[in-house]
A and B are shown apart, each in its own frame.
Chain A
């Protein structure tokens, strides 16, 4: 099992450009999440999807959109990138039953906006 995978690993954008970060999980989890991590900070939730077909805003959703494409895939889109969106982005997944909401993380995407 690959667990949670993210593409790309690195990306440099110019201000105003758009891009989509891809995330996939092979653990058959219902819930998926997008976080950002800024220097010296913990992770902050951008958006999450509790189950296929639903999405909800987290703590810092402005400037982002998400799509839960199917049970495996959850993408994050920046429509018009800004330097304030320079960060490391992590995708995670979890299963509400059993060990409630234990989250597993992907390797991250390091994004720089110039």
Chain B
């Protein structure tokens, strides 16, 4: 089945810093989603981005489907950005396969 690798596994930032999270996948995909799991465990949809670039406030994402990777950019990070960021892909008839996530800690 498709493999999803996320890097880095852990990231510590000072408030106000920028960061880039990466998601590599091993096969072509129909769907790619980025989620934020907040410290209370809730999974929040950030982006639905099988290809191209999208922006939502301080967050943006780019997926280069032909090269099988996606990037999530967080600018001017805030403490509320802390949590785990997951990339998940849908390939062919296989429901979402998740990476293991990047744990982000933003320190004031």
Which A residues lie at the B interface, using CB under 8 A? 31, 33, 40-45, 48, 58, 88, 90, 92, 99-105, 107-108, 110
Contacts and interface: CB of A to CB of B under 8 A. Distances in A.
B86 A103 contact: no
Interface of B: 4, 30-31, 33, 35, 41-43, 45, 48, 50, 86, 88, 90, 95-101
A43 B31 contact: no
Given A43-B98, A100-B30, A107-B41, 5 more contacts: A42-B88, A45-B96, A90-B43, A100-B50, A102-B48
DSSP class of B's interface residues: helix, strand, loop or mixed? strand
Contacts of B99: 42
A42 B31 contact: no
B86 A43 contact: yes
B100 A103 contact: no
A54 to B, nearest CB: 12
Contacts of A90: 43
Contact of B95 (A58, A88, A105, A110): A58
Given A45-B95, A88-B41, A90-B43, A102 B31 contact: yes
A101 B101 contact: no
Given A33-B95, A42-B99, A42-B101, A100 B31 contact: yes
Given A99-B48, A101-B90, A102-B33, A42 B98 contact: yes
